[in-house]
Each structure stands twice: as structure tokens, then as C-alpha cells.
Amino acid sequence: MAGGAVIENLSNRKLFVIFAGLLVIQIMFFLIGAWYSPSPSSYMEFEMITCRDETKGLSGKWIHRDNCQQIGELSEFTPSSFDLREIVFVAKMPHIRDGIELEYSPWFQFLLGVLHVDVEYSTHFKYVANAQLELEVRMGYREKKSAKNDWKELTTSNVTRTLYCSIPEDEKKDGGTYDCEMLDLFELGSSSYPFYLINIRIPIDQQACQYDPRSPNCQIGKLTGLRLIEIHQNGGFTLVWLWTKTFMTPVVAACLWWYYNRINQLARNPLLLERAILYLGLSLAILDFPIEWISLTTHFPILLLVSDLRQGLFYTVLFSFWLIFAGEHLIDDTTRNNINSYRFNLFFIITGSSALLVYDLVERGVQLYDPFYSVWSSPTGSQIAYCAIFISAISTVIYFGFLLFKIVRVWNTIKNKRSAQLYQTSENRRLKVEGVIYRFKFLMLFTLLCAAFTIIAYFMKQYGEAQLHGDEARDGFLTGSTSAFFTGAFGMCNIYVLLLLAMYAPSHKHYRGATQLIDENDDEIIDDPSNQHTESNAMTTFLKPSTD
């Protein structure tokens, strides 16, 4: 007797109970996010105050609120020299609120800084499209115990960004404001210090400007102010997220161990599909592992990169698995159970994910050393970045096209099989075959459902953002529950893989006696007069019980 997968040997009742249970768990995941967790991230906006520093930053002194000689109106300020290093834009993060000095906590996981440049229309200081903006940024930090203004250097950097601004024609008069695109300023992979201080200078080299107007800061127009927006993950979300991961890891590990034992106890070598599921489970276990706990106690800036890599790995394996899953159910294809036969399609997955890997390593990798680095800031860098994203986008599209094609083929094959066979056989057998195919389809549908859920979640998020326009943005159901989508999607991922591990494990009921290889299996089927095609693996095993 052929070794069937668990799914074929489960009664409908058991299957129903399992699905119902999983649905309840899925809903629980969703509700955990919706009820217990705040929104995944929040922001704090800083309007940078402008201060005067006679030393032009040469003294290495930090400029902060307490020693700031504030400049009221930038345009009314007369600097003593023309390089304008005298003007310092200052922001201390975070703010004081409700009379309490707020602190950043390691629970925030990451800190992102985005810069808004306010440019006013002026006939004298013309903004020229795509002007280069060069900032001298100094970022300092302060420990909780140190004195009030004892700032230590975190990083100093010269940042060059391109300023993209636009203005409607009718606003083109003095006092009109440009609408400028925000600039990425910094990205910290961990939030290890409670306070940060940012000093920004916008130096101008008059000679260079005369020599070449395209030099940095010569064409940025009448700058009226800088606004900094800092984004971090919410501590509450981190907590909920970490606990879900911590809870899921042992479950996945146990399931994986069980599955591994099952296929190891087989007398035959594991099939390609079985191995693919094993790797999928393994990558899920890696994804789930709550490595983030470390960042709560130690300085661990590499975390952002690591979690990107883990997610990338999981998606690469998942996409490969789908391909193999579909391919292995193509009954008429004889080249199955061999990874080599998939190399053409796998190539696209590998290309796509390695392009993204390169992008990620460059962007986040360099940011480990210089938080102010951005691939997008230099023309070559942004070309590479565009290239990487373009390649991976193209690969993904081709991949999905191919996957769809395969799924349709599998679907058709199954339909043909069924119509060809069912009516020739006894009622009892017909019911059984129907049931098996039904279950197979059910799993396929589950995959589709998962995909649909992801897409719906995406659109709901978009809708939630559309609600931001409304007056009472905070009260919106959808804006408040994006965390629910995160935990929901996470739960779905886990349930999906766990279900695969459980359902596609070789069945306990049959595997002990199973010694046959695929070829023998095929022979056996050919012996069966009702079978004209060579079949094996999933489809074989589906149809197999019908010969009992």
C-alpha cells in the first residue's frame, strides 16, 4: 500500500475540526493585534529651532535649547560671514510632553528621521529644480544618568540630498510656499539611548556658487525652516509582537521536529515536495525566532538588517515552494521530483530576491556605520537601487505569471482525471476520490485565501489612510487596527505553514509498510486498468486509496 499524506487519511470530521480550530486561532491572532496592541509605529514632529553660533561649529560645542541664541526670523538675520555656518538648526528628541521629559526606549526597535524643507518663493533667491542640498549633520546622544546637557557624539556626517520642490503657478509670488518632497535623513537600527540631539548646518561656499551654480546649497531657494519627523515602532506593538513570536517559536519547532521524524522514518527517500515543506518550515522557524529580545538589553543595531534578511529568506522559500507544489501536482509531467526541472522558474525567484538582497545590504548595511547614508542620495546609488527594484519587480511578475499558468494546468488535469475516472467506478470509490480531490483543492483554496487576505489587508490599509483626511482620523476603525493586520498576517503565515507540515507529512497509518519507490508505485498504477497515466506522489496517493 502506498504511503499517503496525512490529509488523505483524515476523516472529514477531523479535518473540519482542525480547520475550525485554526480559524479560531487565526481570529485570535487578529484580535490580539486589534485589542492589545497600539498602532505599529508612530511619529513625532520637530520644528527645528534656529540658533546662532559665533564659533561656526569649530569649537565642537553642542548647540541645544539652553545655550541657543535663537534667531526669530531667518530672513531678517544678518550673519557675520557668508558661509552661514553660524546658523544651526537644532532639534532635541524627543519632546517634553505634559511636563514630563520623554525618553526613547529600546522597545522602539528603530528610529527613522525624515526631513521636510520649507522653501518660500522669492524672486531674489530662486529655487532651481533638483537643487543639491548639503547638510552638515551632527547627532549626539545622552544617557539617562548624565548631566542635563552632557551630549556625546553619535555620528557626524555630510549629507547630500536632492531637493524636489514644486509650486503652483498662481502661488508664484513672494510669500508663496513650495511643496517639497521629504528627504530621508537617518535610520538607526536600534534605539539604545533615551535622548538625541541633532545639529544641522547648511554651509554655503560663495566662490563655488559663482564658479558653478549647480554646487550644493546654491540653488535651494529661500529656506525658511526645517522640520524633522522621527518615526519609531511603538513599544506596545513590540511587546505584543515579541510575545506572539516567542509563543509561536516552540510550536513551529515542535511541529518541524515531528515532521522531520516522519519523513526520516520513511523507507524511501523523501520526495521533493516533502523536502520543500521541510525547508519552508525551517525558514518559518528562523523567521519566528524572537531574536529581538537581545536588542532590549544590548546595543544591537544590526537587527533591522537581520529581520529584513529573515523575511527575505522566508518569502524566497515560500515562492519556491508554491512553484514546486504546483509542479509536483502536474500528473502528466514525467520530469517531476527533481529540483533541476524547476531551475528555469527558480532562477527568477533567485534573481528577484538577490537583487533585493543587494539593495538591502547596501542600504541597511552601510547605515550600520553611517545612519545618514542613503543609496538614493547619489545618482549612481539611486540607479543601482532602481535597477535592483526593477529587476526584482520584473522577476516577480514573471514568476507569478508562470505560477498562475501552472496552477491552471493542475486544475485542468484534476478536472480531466475526475471526469475520466469517476463514472467508471463504484459509488464507494467515487466518493472517496471526490473527497481526496476536494481536500487537495481545499488546500489550494486556502493558499488563494491567504493571498486574498494579504491583498485585502493591503487595500484596507489604503482605505484607512484615506480616512486620515477625515476630521476624526483617530477614531477610524481601520487606522487604529493596522496592528491587527500585522499580527493577523503573521498568524496566517504560521498557520499556513503548520497546516502544510501537518497535512503533508507522510501518514502514520501507512508509512510503516511503505517500501516502494516511485517507479514501483508507477508500475503498480499501470497495472490498474482504470489508470492509463503514470502517476505518482500527491496525485497518486490521492487516487491510491480508491484501489483499496
Site for another protein in 384-443 (CB under 8 A): 389
- Smallest gap from Cβ 418 to another protein, in A, equals 39
Cell readout for 178 is 513650495
Q: Give the residue, chosen from 13, 59, 124, 207, that forms a contact with another protein under the rule CB under 8 A.
A: 124
Cβ-based nearer residue to another protein, 16 or 463:
463
Decide: helix, strand or coil at residue 223.
strand
Residues 6+ apart with CB under 8 A from 78: none
Half-sphere exposure of 348 (CA within 13 A, CB side): 18
Cell readout for 85 is 555656518
* Cα–Cα distance for residue pair 89/185, rounded to 1 Å: 14
Strand 179-180 versus strand 165-166 pairing type: antiparallel
Span 442-481, contacts to another protein by CB under 8 A: 461, 465, 468-469, 471, 473-474
Q: Is position 108 an interface residue for another protein (rule: CB under 8 A)?
A: yes
Q: Give the residue, chosen from 97, 144, 147, 264, that forms a contact with another protein under the rule CB under 8 A.
A: 97
Cβ-based nearer residue to another protein, 98 or 169:
98
Span 477-516, contacts to another protein by CB under 8 A: none
- Stretch 20-49: interaction string toward another protein, x if CB under 8 A: ----------------x-xxxxxxxxxxxx
Cβ-based nearer residue to another protein, 29 or 107:
107
Size, binding site for another protein by CB under 8 A: 78
Q: Give the residue, chosen from 52, 68, 235, 377, that forms a contact with another protein under the rule CB under 8 A.
A: 235
* Cα–Cα distance for residue pair 301/368, rounded to 1 Å: 7
Q: Give the residue, chosen from 19, 77, 243, 293, that forms a contact with another protein under the rule CB under 8 A.
A: 77
Query: Residues 195, 91: contact at Cβ < 8 Å?
Result: no
Q: Is position 306 an interface residue for another protein (rule: CB under 8 A)?
A: no
Span 312-331, contacts to another protein by CB under 8 A: 312
* Cα–Cα distance for residue pair 485/26, rounded to 1 Å: 11
Contact region with another protein (CB under 8 A), list: 285-293, 305-313, 507-515, 537-545:
305-313
- Smallest gap from Cβ 435 to another protein, in A, equals 38
Span 148-187, contacts to another protein by CB under 8 A: 175-177, 182
- Smallest gap from Cβ 168 to another protein, in A, equals 11
| Closest to 425 (Cα-Cα) out of 546, 545, 548, 540 | 546
Query: Residues 499, 442: contact at Cβ < 8 Å?
Result: no
Span 349-378, contacts to another protein by CB under 8 A: 356, 359-360, 363
Cβ-based nearer residue to another protein, 38 or 290:
38
Cα radius of gyration (the chain): 30
* Cα–Cα distance for residue pair 261/86, rounded to 1 Å: 70
**Which amino acid is present at 456?**
I
Residue with cell 521536529: 257
